[in-house]
Amino acid sequence: MRKLLTLRQQEERDGFWMLLPAIGVFGVISVLPILFTLVLSFTDTPLSNPTPQNFVGLKNFLAFINSKDFWASIWRTFYFTSVSVGLELILGLGIALLIHSKPFGWQFLRASLIIPWAVPTIVNGAIWRWIYNADYGALNGLLYSLGIIEKYQAWLTKPFLAMNLVIVADVWHSVPFIALILQAALATIPREIEEASMIDGASVWQRFVHIRLQLLRPAILVALVVRTVEAFRVFDIIYVITQGGPAFGTVTISYLTYLESFTYGHLGSGSALSFLISAITLMLALIYIRILYRPEVQK
Amino acid sequence: MKRLTRFIKNSWLVVFMVPVLLFIYAPITWLITSSISTRAQLLAMPPRFFPENPTLKNYMDILVPGTAVSEVARTFKITLGNSLLVALVTTVICLIIASLAAYALARLRLRYKNNFIMGILSIRMIPEISLVIPLFIAAARFGWLDKPLVLIVTYLSFALPFAIWMLTTFFETIPIEMEDAALIDGSSRLNTLFKVILPLASPGIVSTALFIFLLAWDEFFFALIFTSTTASKTVPVAIAEFTGRYAVDITAMMTGGVLAALPPVILALLFQRYIVSGLSAGAVKG
**Chosen CATH of A41-297 out of 1.10.3720.10, 1.10.10.10, 1.10.1370.30, 3.30.390.30:** 1.10.3720.10
Q: Is B196 on the interface with A (CB under 8 A)?
A: no
Res A212 pLDDT > 60:
yes
- Is residue A281 a contact partner of residue A229, using CB atoms and an 8 Å limit? yes
Closest CA to B167 of B125, B128, B127, B212: B212
Q: What angle do CA B263, A166, A218 make, to 5 degrees?
A: 75
* Cis peptide preceding B46, ω within 30 of 0: yes
Nearest to B110 among A12, A138, A294 (CB): A12
Which residues are CB-neighbours of A123 under 8 A, at least 6 positions away?
B31, B236, B239, B257, B260, B261
For residues B67 and A274, give the distance between their C-alpha atoms in angstroms, rounded to a whole number: 43
Cα atoms found within 13 Å of the Cα of residue A29, Cβ hemisphere only: 21
Q: Which of A133-142, A274-283, B80-89 has the highest mean pLDDT?
A: B80-89
Q: What is the pLDDT of residues B138-155, one digit of tens each?
A: 999 899 999 999 999 999
Res B187 pLDDT > 90:
no
Q: Is B272 on the interface with A (CB under 8 A)?
A: yes
Q: What is the pLDDT of residues A77-116, one digit of tens each?
A: 999 999 999 999 999 999 999 999 888 888 999 999 999 9
Test A257 with B264 for CB contact under 8 angstroms: no
| For residues A167-194, average pLDDT | 90
Domain B69-283 is of which CATH architecture?
A: Orthogonal Bundle (1.10)
For residues B218 and A237, give the distance between their C-alpha atoms in angstroms, rounded to a whole number: 12
Res A237 pLDDT > 60:
yes
Q: What does chain A come to in residues?
A: 299
For residues A103 and A96, give the distance between their C-alpha atoms in angstroms, rounded to a whole number: 12
Closest CA to A242 of A138, A167, A179, A171: A167
pLDDT at B286: 32
Report helix angle B272-283 to A106-118, nearest 10. Answer: 70
| For residues A283-291, average pLDDT | 72
Q: Which residue has the higher pLDDT, B193 or B132?
A: B132
Q: What is the mean pLDDT of chain B?
A: 86
Which residues are CB-neighbours of A188 under 8 A, at least 6 positions away?
none
Instruction: Classify A196 as helix, strand or coil.
Output: helix
Global pTM value? 0.91
Residue in chain B lying closest to A102 (CA):
B10
Q: Which B residues, 61 through 120, put their C-beta within 8 Å of a C-beta on chain A?
A: 96-98, 100-101, 103-105, 108-111, 113-114, 116-120
pLDDT at B285: 37
Nearest to B236 among A120, A289, A297 (CB): A120
Cα atoms found within 13 Å of the Cα of residue B210, Cβ hemisphere only: 25
Report helix angle B14-35 to A68-100, nearest 10. Answer: 120
Res B37 pLDDT > 90:
no
C-alpha pair distances (Å), A141 with each of A130, A160, B182: 12, 22, 66
CA terminus-to-terminus distance, chain B: 37
For residues A239 and B240, give the distance between their C-alpha atoms in angstroms, rounded to a whole number: 8
Res B200 pLDDT > 70:
yes
What are the residue ranges spanned by the domains of chain A?
41-297
State the sign of the Cα–Cα–Cα–Cα dihedral A130, A133, A136, A140. positive
Phi, psi (rounded to 5 degrees) for A250: -120, 25
Q: Is B253 on the interface with A (CB under 8 A)?
A: yes
Mutate to test the interface with A, among B9, B42, B126 (most CBs of A within 10 A): B126
| For residues A180-203, average pLDDT | 84
Longest dimension (CA), chain B: 75
Res B58 pLDDT > 50:
yes
For residues A159 and A162, give the distance between their C-alpha atoms in angstroms, rounded to a whole number: 5
Report how many Cβ contacts below 8 Å link chain A to chain B: 303
Q: Which B residues, 203 through 232, put their C-beta within 8 Å of a C-beta on chain A?
A: 214, 217-218, 220-221, 224-225
For residues A146 and A123, give the distance between their C-alpha atoms in angstroms, rounded to a whole number: 27
Mutate to test the interface with A, among B84, B129, B210, B211 (most CBs of A within 10 A): B129
Test B122 with A101 for CB contact under 8 angstroms: no
What are the residue ranges spanned by the domains of chain B?
2-55, 69-283
For residues A298 and A111, give the distance between their C-alpha atoms in angstroms, rounded to a whole number: 35
For residues A254 and A265, give the distance between their C-alpha atoms in angstroms, rounded to a whole number: 15
- Is residue B68 a contact partner of residue B77, using CB atoms and an 8 Å limit? no
pLDDT at B87: 97
For residues B151 and A290, give the distance between their C-alpha atoms in angstroms, rounded to a whole number: 32
Question: Residues of B66-78 as b/e, b for ≥16 C-beta within 10 angstroms?
Answer: eebeeebbbbbbe
pLDDT at B245: 53
Test A104 with B117 for CB contact under 8 angstroms: no
For residues B86 and A74, give the distance between their C-alpha atoms in angstroms, rounded to a whole number: 34
Instruction: Classify A298 as helix, strand or coil.
Output: coil
- Is residue A166 a contact partner of residue A241, using CB atoms and an 8 Å limit? yes
For residues A52 and A37, give the distance between their C-alpha atoms in angstroms, rounded to a whole number: 10
Closest CA to A25 of B120, B92, B110, B136: B120
